[in-house]
Amino acid sequence: THFGFETVPLAEKQGRVNEVFRSVARRYDLMNDLMSAGLHRAWKSTLVSMLRPPRTRPFRHLDVAGGTGDVAFRVAEAGGERTRVTVADINPDMLAVGRERAETRGLSRLEFVEADAQALPFGDAVYDGYTIAFGIRNVPRIELALREAHRVLKPGSRFLCLEFSKVDVPGLDRLYDAYSFNVIPKIGELVAKDRDSYQYLVESIRRFPAPGAFARMIEEAGFRRVTCRPLSGGIVAIHSGWKF
């Protein structure tokens, strides 16, 4: 089975992506743990430690493609009382799971907003921080999402993007390929009963721009001091940029 995303025109891509996340929403968190062997938790913690939300002054944070709230919960916990987090995601099913999880955890400093990363329903220069984790590769026009990130951030604040990257350790690259092409769709089939969605996941990781090219896109959107920090041998990377 081949999902055939390669041939999907840009205008249709979002529809297909929405279909994928609608169908996996209820199993999403379990699948994340299974497929990354829990590693996604460490990666998200590193992301939040780079953000370092201050505990002593108000902090307005925006987590885009925030899905079921994983990153937002960590930001809210790290920042404490004075941190407010907006979770923006295009998919109402993912947001619904996120709202339930927030309620269960008794977290009230969060809001969940249905929104497209490419056209955010927020004003200019209103946020102190922006994160997007495993989201940007799903967005049809990455350059629009980056420009929107730059627009909504206040001067002096930081953009952080956690995304799959290029494995740069000899040996690990082949192991990783074998894992992603064979094991991930299989787990998808067995646990989520949805092989195609996880086939899409693997293909979308393959097609995402290489670290250097992605860093240049972030610069083109207006960010400065752009850096890339690979984690776990380059399975994922955190790109950072500052708005001045």
Q: What is the DSSP letter of 27?
A: G
Residue 91 or 165: which CB sits closer to ligand SAM? Answer: 91
Q: Which two tokens stand for residue 188?
A: 């998808």
Residue 28 or 59: which CB sits closer to ligand SAM? Answer: 28
Residue 30 or 169: which CB sits closer to ligand SAM? Answer: 30
Compute the least distance from the CB of residue 14 to ligand SAM, in Å. Answer: 6
Read off φ and ψ for residue 138, nearest 5 degrees.
-85, -15
Give Dmax over CA atoms of the chain in angstroms.
Answer: 52
- DSSP state letters, 199-211: HHHHHHHHHSPPH
Compute the least distance from the CB of residue 233 to ligand SAM, in Å. Answer: 19
Nearest residue (beta carbon) to ligand SAM: 67
Measured between alpha carbons, how far is residue 244 from residues 83, 85, 172, 195 in Å? Answer: 22, 22, 38, 44
Number of helices (H) and strands (E) in the chain: give both, helices first: 10, 7
Q: Which two tokens stand for residue 37?
A: 């062997």
Compute the least distance from the CB of residue 119 to ligand SAM, in Å. Answer: 9
168 is in an annotated binding site: no
Residue 14 or 46: which CB sits closer to ligand SAM? Answer: 14
117 is in an annotated binding site: yes
68 is in an annotated binding site: yes
Residue 114 or 177: which CB sits closer to ligand SAM? Answer: 114
Read off φ and ψ for residue 188, nearest 5 degrees.
-55, -40
Residue 14 or 232: which CB sits closer to ligand SAM? Answer: 14
Compute the least distance from the CB of residue 171 to ligand SAM, in Å. Answer: 27
Contact residues: ligand SAM, CB under 6 A: 14, 17, 21, 64-67, 70-71, 89-91, 94, 116-118, 133-135, 138-139
Q: Is beta strand 110-114 parallel, antiparallel or unpaired with respect to 153-164?
A: unpaired
CA distance 120 to 30: 29
- What are the strands, taking DSSP E only, across 146-185? 153-164
Compute the least distance from the CB of residue 170 to ligand SAM, in Å. Answer: 28
Smallest CA-to-CA distance from 239 within 166, 132, 161 is with 161
Compute the least distance from the CB of residue 56 to ligand SAM, in Å. Answer: 27
93 is in an annotated binding site: no
- Residue ranges of the binding site for S-adenosyl-L-methionine: 68, 89, 116-117
